[in-house]
């Protein structure tokens, strides 16, 4: 049996989040969405509002709570292709994890749409982006959401050499502990296509 540590008290110090940039804050959204995609997930969250980059204490408190809920989800479930595709951006090019997650979020949302259209529609609704869950409409809506927050969404503008994309796809595809949870099987070539689309 693996020993576990369970805290008696969880403190959400939203005052400490004031210095985070918007891309870092978006991790509080991306984590729970990717857990929702987990093929083993049986709980469907209720749509809610998302407030990013407003600078208000209320918005920071909401993000802290979203991050806590996302952490709770990681106990019985795990993240999926979106986190996998984000990892090589951090390990190879030192892109902040939140920014890397934001950058691939729209692309992996669109990729998974055909496998989980109802969950995609819930995600879009929670973001205030309607409920049309086709892959192209999901990509356009989620990408627009991130760019509207001022997040740089092009790999080329982050100093990632195009020649690195195949090796990044190979590395991401090897992270089976996450990819095996994805609702749709994703190949190395499909991960490479996501990187190229984001380039």
Query: Tokens in use for 88?
Result: 């090589």
Domain annotation covers residue 115: yes
Residues 6 or more apart in contact with residue 159 via CB below 8 angstroms:
93
Domain annotation covers residue 9: no
Domain annotation covers residue 13: no
Domain of 84, in residue numbers: 21-198
Domain count, the chain: 1
Domain annotation covers residue 141: yes
95 pLDDT band (50/70/90 cuts)? Answer: very high
- CATH number of the domain residue 75 falls in: 1.20.1090.10
Domain annotation covers residue 8: no
DSSP string, 28-88: HHHHHHHHHH-TT----PPP-----S---HHHHHHHHHHHHHHHHHTTTS---HHHHHHHH
**Cβ pair 70, 101 in contact under 8 A:** no
Domain annotation covers residue 151: yes
> Which tens digits make up the pLDDT trace of 38-55?
655 555 544 344 444 455
Which single residue is written with the structure tokens 């259209």?
Answer: 117
> Which tens digits make up the pLDDT trace of 153-198?
999 999 999 999 999 999 999 999 888 889 999 999 999 999 999 9
Domain annotation covers residue 60: yes
Domain annotation covers residue 174: yes
Share the mean pLDDT of the chain: 79
Give this prediction's pTM. Answer: 0.75
Helix (H, G, I), strand (E, B) or coil at 89: helix
Helix axes 117-126, 22-37, angle to 10 degrees: 150
């Amino acid at each position: 049996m693996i020993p576990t540590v369970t805290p008696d008290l969880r403190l959400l110090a939203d005052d400490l989040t004031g210095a985070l940039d918007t891309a870092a804050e978006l991790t509080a959204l991306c984590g729970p969405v990717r857990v929702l995609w987990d093929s083993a997930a049986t709980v469907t969250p209720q749509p809610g509002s998302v407030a990013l980059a407003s600078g208000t204490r209320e918005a920071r408190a909401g993000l802290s709570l979203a991050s806590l809920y996302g952490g709770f989800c990681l106990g019985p479930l795990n993240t999926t292709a979106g986190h996998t595709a984000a990892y090589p951006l951090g390990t190879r090019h030192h892109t902040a994890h939140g920014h890397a997650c934001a950058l691939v979020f729209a692309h992996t949302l669109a990729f998974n749409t055909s496998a989980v259209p109802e969950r995609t529609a819930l995600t879009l609704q929670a973001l205030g982006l309607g409920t049309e869950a086709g892959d192209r409409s999901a990509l356009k809506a989620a990408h627009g959401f991130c760019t509207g927050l001022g997040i740089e969404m092009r790999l080329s503008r982050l100093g990632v050499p195009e020649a690195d994309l195949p090796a990044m796809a190979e590395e991401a595809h090897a992270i089976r502990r996450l990819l095996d949870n994805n609702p749709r099987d994703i190949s190395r070539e499909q991960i490479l296509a996501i990187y190229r689309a984001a380039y």
